[in-house]
Amino acid sequence: QVQLVESGGGVVQPGGSLRLSCAASGFTFTTFAMHWVRQAPGKGLEWVAFIRYDGSNTYYADSVKGRFTISRDNSKDTLHLQMNNLGPEDTAVYFCAKDGVGFGEFGNWGQGTLVTVSS
Amino acid sequence: QSALTQPRSVSGSPGQSVTISCTGASSAFGDYNYVSWYQHHPGKAPKLIIYDVSKRPSGVPDRFSGSKSGNTASLTISGLQADDEADYHCCSYAGSWVFGGGTKLTVL
């Protein structure tokens, strides 16, 4: 079955950087677009970034544009999120999600990794 | 793209039905019918339960149903069970993805 396992979360100081990873298994990674979605404490979900199945196109939420970079290594079935210039507003659980079979939905999710931005 | 508004909480007794609304400006949904719903037990992976407004993924029981009228999408859960107690999130794609604030369902 589909498995998505995030890693790389932790505590980082404001202005710092962090790189998240998501190991995918149970499906043909190279044929699906992927996303990062986050949930700040006590808040709803927020879509963060999208990458096409072949990495040729990426899109970002305005809140992270210019600071975050989504990428994928199709040879290792792994998704990444490079986060730079982090601020307290980036504190959240970060989920990776696989595109669905329809259009516009997130078909499968990981359990998430917590990122805390604090001095 | 505008935000989506959900009630903060709803509740119901086992066996009853509950409906969770998801309201936005017309721009929140655009001309598309790409509304999806997710069940999230805290600490676990969110789960897709409805996509394209009313379609159910394989394995999701037909107690879960979705609909949309005008600027409001709705999720109805019938025959409530204890395990349905979770957070529910709506999402719309209209050029970008936007979520509602989430609704906590309590099964009394």
pLDDT at B27: 80
Mean pLDDT, range B92-104, rounded to an integer:
94
Is B51–A112 a contact, with Cβ atoms under 8 angstroms apart?
A: no
**A29-44 pLDDT tens trace:** 999 999 999 999 999 9
Residue in chain A closest to B88 (alpha carbons) equals A44
Beta-ladder partners of B74: B21, B67
Share of chain A above pLDDT 70, in %: 100
- The answer to whether A27 touches A2, Cβ cutoff 8 Å, is yes
| Whether residue B26 has pLDDT greater than 80 | no
| Whether residue B2 has pLDDT greater than 70 | no
CB-nearest to A46 from B32, B57, B99 is B99
- Chain B, residues 44-103, CB within 8 A of chain A, namely 44-48, 51-52, 55, 57, 89, 91-93, 96-102
Share of chain B above pLDDT 70, in %: 98
Share of chain B above pLDDT 90, in %: 85
Contacts with A13 (C-beta within 8 Å, 6 or more apart), sequence order: A117, A118, A119
pLDDT at A48: 98
Query: Which chain A residues are closer than 8 Å to B42 by Cβ?
Result: none
